[in-house]
Amino acid sequence: SGESVAKTVWRLDVANEEETAALARELATLLRAGDLVALAGDLGAGKTTFARALIRTLLEDPTLEAPSPTFTLMQTYEGAGARVVHADFYRLESAAELAGVGWEEAVEDAIVLAEWAERAREAFSGDRLEVRLSFAEADDRARRLTVSGYGAFAARLAAFKALYEFL
Ligand code: ADP
Ligand code: MG
């Protein structure tokens, strides 16, 4: 069910953490209030690293700390005209916990970045950008990034990819 939704998939390989951050900074230009970005991948793959670079760009603060929200479930940032919610559902036990932390109010008019979004699937099945980071065999600093745009993000990601590959 739900698989009739439009989808664009873009795969690219990065050599190190700086290249991951650079891609996050580029993708930041695609995002606006109300958008949802699901960050997927195993522990240590680089989800938080990617989110931190995105947050720093959106908040226009290159030294912002942006720690992992594993224990707080979510962290809200505001600045430079942007509102960003960074969530990590690794420890989420049930969707009811989301209500407990005021999720609905927090994400209103925010750009939402969610690690382990698959653990709260009902909240993340609609239009969204998904960035999956996978370890590469070659080198422990290399990663494969699979960026998927679902629904309204399919066309936006396709346009972005075409521009990125052209430049
Ligand atoms: P996750 O949130 O997926 O568990 P983190 O971002 O917290 O992962 O940790 C990723 C770790 O891997 C960091 O220590 C980071 O420095 C390191 N790293 C090495 N190469 C890369 C890369 N290409 N992209 C992202 N992180 C990388
Ligand atoms: Mg993390």
Element (H, E) at 27: helix 17-28
Residue 45 inside a domain? The answer is yes
Domain tally, the chain:
1
Residue 1 inside a domain? The answer is no
Q: 45 CA distance to ligand 1 centroid (A)?
A: 5
Residue 153 inside a domain? The answer is yes
Residues 127/32, Cβ–Cβ less than 8 Å: no
CATH code (residue 121): 3.40.50.300
Distance, in Å, from the CA atom of 11 to the CA atom of 55, rounded to the nearest integer, reads 22
Q: Which ligand is nearest to the CA of 46?
A: 1
Residue 2 inside a domain? The answer is no
Q: What is the pLDDT along the chain (167 residues), one digit of tens a residue?
A: 555 789 999 999 999 999 999 999 999 999 999 999 999 999 999 999 999 999 999 999 999 999 999 888 999 999 999 999 999 999 998 888 888 889 999 999 999 999 998 888 777 778 999 999 999 987 999 999 999 999 999 999 999 999 988 88
Residue 51 inside a domain? The answer is yes
Kindly report the protein residue whose alpha carbon is nearest to atom 19 of ligand 1.
141
Q: Could you tell me which of 120, 67, 122 has the C-alpha nearest to residue 89?
A: 120
Kindly report the protein residue whose alpha carbon is nearest to atom 7 of ligand 1.
48
Assess whether the C-beta atom of 94 lies below 6 angstroms from ligand 1.
no
Q: Which domain holds residue 22?
A: 7-166
Sign of CA dihedral 53, 6, 146, 106: positive
CB-proximal residues (5 Å) to ion ligand 2: 47-48, 68, 115
What's the ipTM? 0.99
Q: What pLDDT shows up at residue 4?
A: 75
Assess whether the C-beta atom of 126 lies below 6 angstroms from ligand 1.
no
Residue 144 inside a domain? The answer is yes
Residue 37 inside a domain? The answer is yes
Kindly report the protein residue whose alpha carbon is nearest to atom 6 of ligand 1.
46
Assess whether the C-beta atom of 43 lies below 6 angstroms from ligand 1.
yes
Residue 64 inside a domain? The answer is yes
Strands (E), 24-127: 36-40, 74-79, 82-88, 111-115
